[in-house]
A and B are shown apart, each in its own frame.
Chain A
Amino acid sequence: MLAESLALSAALFAIGVVGVLTRRNAMIVFMCVELMLNAVNLSFVALSRLYGATGQVFVIFVMTVAAAEAAVGLAIVIAIFRHKQTVDLQNINLLRG
């Protein structure tokens, strides 16, 4: 059971990574990152069956943090949208070199 859970977690994580790599919309990229975090949460939960509550506590932390991150992230995306009228990452390359 543990092994399967961990494998699923790894697969989800990989999907998240691939999403980040392939998507161009800032919002979707951020969603993919959230997917990665939740994949890790799955691992924590699975592992806490083995080791006790620490993993579950961690999951709570991660969720809280993810929420905060989402708030900040959305604000930033809005800020960029105000300047660029787009959230396509390919068009956001003022800074380079």
Chain B
Amino acid sequence: MMNAQIPETGHPLADTVARFVWLLPLLPLLGFVVNGALALSAAAKIGPDDPSAGQDHHNAHDHAAGHDDHGHGHDDHHPARHKYAGIVSLVGPGVLLAAFGLAVAMFLAMRGVKMEEPFVLQLFRWMPVGDLKINAAFQLDQLSMVMVLIITGVGTLIHIFSVGYMQDDPGYPRYFAYLNLFVFFMLLLVLGANYPLMFVGWEGVGLCSYLLIGFWFSEEANANAGKKAFIVNRIGDFGFLVAMFLLFANVGTLDYAGMAEAAQKLPMGGTVITAICLFFFVGCTGKSAQIPLYVWLPDAMAGPTPVSALIHAATMVTAGVYLIARSSILFSMAPVASLTVALVGGLTALFAATIGLKQWDIKKVLAYSTVSQLGYMFVGVGVGAYTAGVFHLMTHAFFKALLFLGSGSVIFAMHRAYHATHNHDDAQDMRNMGGLKKFMPVTWALMWIATLAIAGIPPFAGFFSKDEILGTVFARANAGPLSTATLLGVPGHVVLLIVYVIGLASALLTAIYMTRMMIYTFHGPNRTGDAERAHLAEAPWIMTGPLVVLGVLSAFGGWLNLPELLPIGPIGTLEHWLEPVVGVATARMAGSGEHVAANTEWVLIGVAVAIAVIGMSVAFARLKPAALVQKSASPASEGFAKVLEHKYYVDELYDDAIVQPVKGISTTVLWKGVDAGIIDGLFVNGSAAVTRAMGWMGSQLQSGQVGTYAWVLVIGVLALLGAFTSSR
């Protein structure tokens, strides 16, 4: 099946290591198979030959197996390691490391050649039907290369971290199997050479996300969260599907290659292209947690924390950004759609940031922060700053992974402490933390780096990427097709200015809530409890190691794409790198507009930095960690704070307005009403009943009286004679 044929021998990458691109996803898939087999074989207890007889002799039941998977991470299990822990710890991260190595080799090979056309490796025919010819094919170009490096790189770090974090979990091999499978699908997503193949990865990562969110499935909330994630994502996938249908019906191909020319058939800014882009964006709102489909992401924190880091921060949720960057040629033809993307991204950024202000669960804060930062990325790709969007995607991957893993090691420490004292308090609530700096100095330091990065304090990574996005928004508001387009009657430049202001506001809020999180977690007095305090300690090296690497990346990641304004290193590395993929689209979006003047740009940067600094200062000035009490003793919040804490009641709104009505209508109207009532009751059983009743009446006429019979006979005679004589 994998009879990879060497494509386009003329391609500069054809003879390099790139021809093994299929090995990239195959490695994690292999890891999945091995780990999955180990997980199953360890868990399985093969049943008796005759299962229906098995009910009676249940004495063979083993209680240990009954509690194979436990409810909440780390509380009630014996700390014995899984019997396959050794081999799993090798295979799980090992395949990732190998994939990362391979990716680096490809990257080097790519750097060595000049490459304008993407490298496409056809593997096999997938769906050859009539004029629809979809192949299983991988496309390696600059964009997918960047994504592959992020996925395998950050992925490797998170896998290594997980070895420590999940060490005592009885589902250890299962965890790594899912994680490997996720990486496989993620690589498929970014490497697929056509939309359907991307869709495979797209849904595949959603599936793994579902499995991992519900990893501790014995708790209903976790299972609910996983299901919610999958279903909400499916709503988005519906958009993705329709976009593909539109694309095929109007353009005739679903391959990236040749999409640019094929799309030229469509009128610029026309309905069709706009619809295609908007439907793609519906897909993005699902996968990348934008308004209105963001609701699953905060709940997704139910999964193990490294999962949140990998899937719900660094990679999967950014797939939407990748999709738009990948489809930049289409989006650049649809200004209205692009404006929508930017606006929705901006609104999401602000909206999520406000909720982040009032969350107590450390992971929820980070979750809303992720939603907010994803909003930034969409602002970037929405305004045609594709490179900036991808750049923010990358820096975000670094610092958000760091934040999540850092919070993971905090939670890990909290758990251990609670476990040691048999306390069942919430290990993720910041009200139960405080002053952890003293116990976990490394984590503390690294998380501060990440916080500064996300807040946009120079020279940390986030500063550069965020600034580039905001700068581009400002520039597009002044010139280019976006500024002249209108969205729902509002001129484009107005929309973009609003987006810009929103961006600044969100930056302010970001600085505030991140600082708040750091203060409540690491500073002030400790609120964990006196007995527990003795057990608080820094995580082992296998967990802090990856943190350090990410810390370095968060600190210096900005160097990968320095603006012209700051000549402290190589200028615009990433921009040049991505030029062959998104260059045309970017140029089209920029229009004839000139660059913003350097002075203006300095002002913009100054404003951004000032806002970040103000935000952090406000947080430091206003928040009083000493006044906090433990979660169990905390009063319920009031007023708008309560609204924020309950996330504007959006979940409740969705439940009342959509979920419950659908269930209610399905039950009472459709099932009991139409199915059982009308179709079955009225027509099926009804007609049977009527026939039966007629039969009963007929048999009553059969009275046993000869006289009656004779009467009926004579009536029949008269009728017949009537019929006969009337025929004349």
The residues in A between 79 and 97 inclusive whose CB is less than 8 angstroms from any CB of B are: 89-90, 92-97
Q: Which of A21, A29, A96 contacts B704 (CB 8 A)?
A: A96
If over half of B's interface residues share one DSSP class (helix, strand or loop), that class is named, otherwise mixed; here it is: helix
From B614-622, B630-638, B672-680, B707-715, the one touching the partner chain is B707-715
Q: A5 to chain B: closest CB distance in Å?
A: 21
Closest chain B residue to A22, Cβ basis: B707
Complex-state Cα separation, A93 to B705, whole angstroms: 6
Bound Cα distance from A20 to B705, whole angstroms: 12
Chain A nearest CB from B725 CB (Å) reads 14
Mind listing 6 A-B residue pairs with CB under 8 Å?
A20-B710, A21-B711, A92-B704, A93-B705, A96-B702, A96-B704
Give the complex CA separation of A94 and B702 in angstroms.
Answer: 12
Give residues 299-327 of B contacting A (CB, 8 Å).
none
Interface residue B59 (Cβ < 8 Å from any Cβ of A): no
B706 within 8 A of A: yes
Contact status of A29 and B703, CB under 8 A, knowing A17-B714, A21-B711, A21-B714: no
Bound-state Cα–Cα, A24 to B705, Å: 10
Q: Is the CB of B702 within 8 A of A89?
A: no
Q: How far is the CA of A97 from the CA of B699 in the complex (A)?
A: 4
A21 to B707, Cβ gap below 8 A?
A: yes
State which of B699, B700, B705, B711 has its C-beta within 8 Å of the C-beta of A90. Answer: B705
Interface of chain B residues 687 through 702 with chain A (CB within 8 A): 699-700, 702
Bound: A92/B706 CA distance, A: 8
How far does the Cβ of A11 sit from chain B's closest Cβ, in whole Å?
16
Instruction: Sort chain B's interface into a size bin.
Output: 10 to 19
- With contacts A21-B707, A21-B711 known, what are 19 further pairs, Cβ within 8 A? A20-B710, A21-B714, A24-B707, A29-B706, A89-B705, A89-B707, A90-B705, A90-B707, A92-B704, A93-B703, A93-B704, A93-B705, A95-B704, A96-B702, A96-B703, A96-B704, A97-B699, A97-B702, A97-B704
Cβ–Cβ < 8 Å partners of B711 in chain A: 21
**B residues neighboring A (CB under 8 Å):** 699-700, 702-707, 710-711, 714
Closest to B706 in A: A89
A interface with B by C-beta (< 8 Å):
17, 20-21, 24, 29, 89-90, 92-97
Q: Which residue of B lies closest to A96 (CB)?
A: B704
Hey, which chain B residues are within 8 Å of A93, CB to CB? 703-705
Bound Cα distance A38, B710 (Å)? 19
Within the complex, the shortest CB–CB distance from B714 to chain A, in Å, comes to: 6
Cα separation A20 to B713 with both chains bound (whole Å): 11
Chain B residues lying within 8 Å of A95, measured Cβ to Cβ, are 704
A47 CB, nearest partner CB in chain B, Å: 19
Q: With the chains together, A50 CA to B673 CA distance in Å?
A: 74
**Chain B nearest CB: distance from A97 CB in Å?**
5
Contacting residues, chain A, for B700 (C-beta < 8 A): 97
Chain B nearest CB from A79 CB (Å) reads 15
Which of chain B's residues have a CB closer than 8 A to the CB of A90?
705, 707
CA distance A24 to B699 in the complex (A): 22
How far is it, in angstroms, between the C-alpha of A11 and the C-alpha of B656 when the chains are bound?
84
Residues of the B chain whose Cβ atoms lie less than 8 Å from the Cβ of A97: 699-700, 702, 704
User: How far, in whole Å, are A86 and B707 apart by their CA atoms in the complex?
Assistant: 16
Please indicate the chain B residues that have their CB under 8 angstroms from the CB of A29 in the complex: 706
